Amino acid sequence: MPYTDAVIHEIQRFADIAPMNVPHATAKDVIFRGYNIPKGTTIIPLLTSVLRDKAYFEKPDEFYPEHFLDSEGNLKKNEAFIPFSLGKRSCAGENLAKMELFLFFTTLLQNFSFQAPPGAVLDLTPALGFTNAPLPYKICAIPRS
């Protein structure tokens, strides 16, 4: 199951569905990379800059589940994996979402094989906007015996 968990993590990292997080405000004066940011300044975190950071992901522009596996094949944490944001304003439903994603994904994989329709070319380029929504495409879900 660690590989399945790594695939789910990589889907969230690679899809980067909400690249611009909701606005936050600094709770105190902060110095960030040499810049003074006064208390109360509105900050809009760009999660893409972290989820595609070459310092944390070996192949940041490729779908590569091994980003989340150690040398023994176990799931490893990566501090740059923040699809739910960070701190007090992170997604309140993060734990529920992670559990539901795992159960939903594994149930689908246990019951179906997925493949593109004959002759179809799948394009993983998202529809860019405030969110990176996937483009519509057809897929075949074949029941397992």
Each residue's pLDDT tens digit, 102-119? 999 999 999 999 999 999
Residue numbers belonging to the annotated binding site for heme: 91
Alpha carbons 11 and 89: distance in angstroms, whole number: 23
Residues of the chain with pLDDT under 50: none
Residue in 75, 93, 74 with CA at minimum distance from that of residue 85: 93
Q: Determine the pLDDT at residue 67.
A: 97
31 — phi, psi (to 5°)?
-110, 120
Which residue(s) pair with 32 in the sheet?
A: 35
Residue numbers belonging to the annotated binding site: 91
Q: Determine the pLDDT at residue 19.
A: 82
pTM reported for the whole predicted model: 0.81
DSSP-based helix, strand, coil % in the chain, nearest 5: 30, 15, 55
Residue that the structure tokens 């023994």 belong to: 72
Cβ 80 vs Cβ 50: under 8 Å: yes
Which residue(s) pair with 113 in the sheet?
A: 142
Cβ 85 vs Cβ 91: under 8 Å: yes
Residue in 104, 91, 95, 92 with CA at minimum distance from that of residue 7: 104
Q: Determine the pLDDT at residue 134.
A: 83
What is the bridge-based pairing of β-strands 140-143 and 112-115? antiparallel
Alpha carbons 138 and 118: distance in angstroms, whole number: 10
- Tally of CB atoms within 10 A around 57: 21
